[in-house]
Amino acid sequence: MWLPGHLGALTRWVPPSLVDEVVEATGCGQRRVRLLPARVVVYFLLAMGLFGECGYRRVWAAMTAGWPRGRVADPSAAALRQARQRLGVKPLMLLFDRLRGPVGTAATPGVFWRGLRPVAWDGTCLEVADSPHNVAHFRRHAARTTRPAGYPQLRLTALVECGTRALIDAVFGPQQHTELPQARCLLASLRPGMLLLADRGYDGFEALRDAAATGADLLWRVQAGRLLPMIRPLPDGTHLTLVTDRRSADRLAKWQQRGRRTARPALTALTLRVISYHVAVTGADGTSHTSTVRLVTTLLDPHRYPAAELAALYHQRWEIETAYYGLKVTLRGPDRVLRSRTPDGIEQELFALLVLYQASRQAITEAATSTHLDPDRLSLTIALHTVRLTVINARTTHPDDLIAALVDTRNLHPARRRPRSSPRCVKRTLSPYAYNKTKGSVGHKTTVTTTITLTGRPGTTEPP
């Protein structure tokens, strides 16, 4: 006999009807009666993500532990592997496509800022199994020494809702694919009413122009050396500038050199507001570090969108780093690689992880909304531990167990985060004898104070 398929408490967010729908839509259903129908295989792949340290047989044992013996099939590891290959990638891809998207509502605390939904995009890398097929497809990343890197890698770029850390969209490919072309694939998921946060790696004119053309607003950090001419000063210490393509940049520079005595030439440009500020961080030991941050934004009204609030809001961009930590460490497991030994298997496995992560975020957000809590206070670790237990116990009809565990006051994060800082360092050195390079720079949290001071620059110019 076979199981109808389940995912414990997460079955509410990944119901069998949805799984059947994507299997049928992709034409990947079985053509004859099998002990491992397509629906069961989909849930088995999701269970693989929950029990990443287990082999096929142990994953199946965890998935069927709550059912009476004799009522379920007992497939071999080879049968489970062949079932994966029969199913293919498309059902998991479509399942993620059905689940992805913003999950916060107007009733969810911390999701909106002044009527806008902050979102962020960025890239990360994941290690995959060291097999000849994976090495040929994903290749090893370039090393700074003559020694090759340990594992091939893929690059994942995602668009994340900052308030809930849910995945709005994601794209991935070999590690040699750079973040900017991958980010362009995410433009279709941007909508008016979103406020996109991005770091200095995306501050090219074309990327700014294309992102602004979607109707979403932008709040991006730019490189310190980027020329941002003052076009009009604003009363709050910020100013308007023109970001242009290369040809228009030369015309603008010549016009400025002539003292702007003539009419401004025709330019291919984007009018943005520049916010510059200093961040001073003082550690518990008294050491202090100060840095200057420059932001550009399409929010041009200084009264409706105060510069101090935008400066503080930009640091919500780090929510995508927390999302990646949840996906790569909390869910996948620390220092683990994706287990599949073929590119198609890697793609299938990663989509299963993305589905698991998104369903968990949906459950967390629903629990937070119903209890009027900020989703940041609810723990992904608690959610995943509870889901694993409900999978083993075959408790598919009691999602309240998950919600109760999430909102238990003993499991909530503090209402206000403890300030901390962590210096950049290489966490995985290529040499097994180079551990001292990271000594003292990993795993240490410090109490810090942050002071933001706006820095306006005087000047008078013509309006754009």
pLDDT digits (tens, 9 = 90+) for 334-386: 888 999 999 999 999 999 999 999 999 999 999 999 999 999 999 999 999 99
For the chain, the domains span 10-98+379-411, 117-273+293-323
Specify the pLDDT at position 250: 62
CA 165 to CA 331: how far, in whole Å?
14
| 185 vs 181: CA distance, rounded Å | 7
Q: Specify the DSSP class assigned to residue 264.
A: P
CB–CB of 401/9 below 8 Å?
A: yes
| Closest to 162 in 3D by CA, of 121, 218, 133, 209 | 121
Which string of DSSP letters, residue by residue, matches 148-191?
PPSSBEEEEEEEEETTTTEEEEEEEEETTS-HHHHHHTTGGG--
Instruction: Tell me the per-residue pLDDT of 58-100, one tens digit each, with 9 for 90 and over.
Output: 999 999 888 777 677 889 999 999 999 999 999 999 999 999 9
Compute the C-alpha angle 346/159/299, nearest 5°: 165
Residue 349: predicted pLDDT: 96
How many CB atoms within 10 Å of residue 155? 20
pLDDT (tens digit per residue) in 402-427? 888 999 989 888 887 767 666 666 66
Q: How far apart are CA 74 and CA 460, in angstroms?
A: 78
From residue 400, alpha-carbon distances to 4, 23, 143, 250 in Å are 21, 28, 48, 62
pLDDT reading at 44 higher than 80: yes
Tallying the residues shown for the chain, one arrives at 464
pLDDT of 180 above 60: yes
Give the whole-angstrom CA distance, residue 178 versus residue 156: 10
Report which secondary-structure segment, H or E, holds 453: strand 449-454
Predicted confidence at residue 441, as pLDDT, reads: 47
Strand 232-233 and strand 239-244: the pairing is: antiparallel
Q: Alpha-carbon distance 122 to 165, whole Å?
A: 13
In the predicted structure, residue 49 carries a pLDDT above the cut 50: yes
CA dist 390 and 387 (Å) reads 5
Strand blocks (E) in 203-317: 217-221, 232-233, 239-244, 269-282, 288-297
**Rounded to a whole number, what is the largest CA-CA distance in the chain?**
89
What pTM does this model have?
Answer: 0.88
Q: What is the dihedral of CA 31, 34, 36, 38, to 10 degrees?
A: 20
What are the tens digits of pLDDT across the range 102-111?
A: 999 999 999 9
CA-CA distance, 338 to 350, in Å (whole number)? 8
Residue 345 vs residues 7, 45, 259, 340, 378: alpha-carbon distances, Å: 21, 11, 62, 5, 32
Which has the closest alpha carbon to 5: 13, 16, 14? 16
- Look at residues 308, 304, 450, 394 and name the one whose alpha carbon lies nearest to residue 3: 394
Q: How far apart are the first and last CA of the chain?
A: 72
With beta carbons less than 8 A apart as the criterion, state whether 289 and 273 touch: no
Alpha-carbon distance values, 324 to 7, 158, 219, 243, 451 (Å): 22, 9, 21, 31, 27
* Crossing angle between the packed helical segments 380-392 and 399-407, to the nearest 10 degrees: 150
Q: What is the per-residue pLDDT for 83?
A: 92
Structure confidence by residue, pLDDT tens digits, 259-317: 666 666 667 678 999 999 888 877 777 778 788 889 999 999 999 999 999 999 999 99
Residue 251: other Cβ atoms inside 10 A: 16
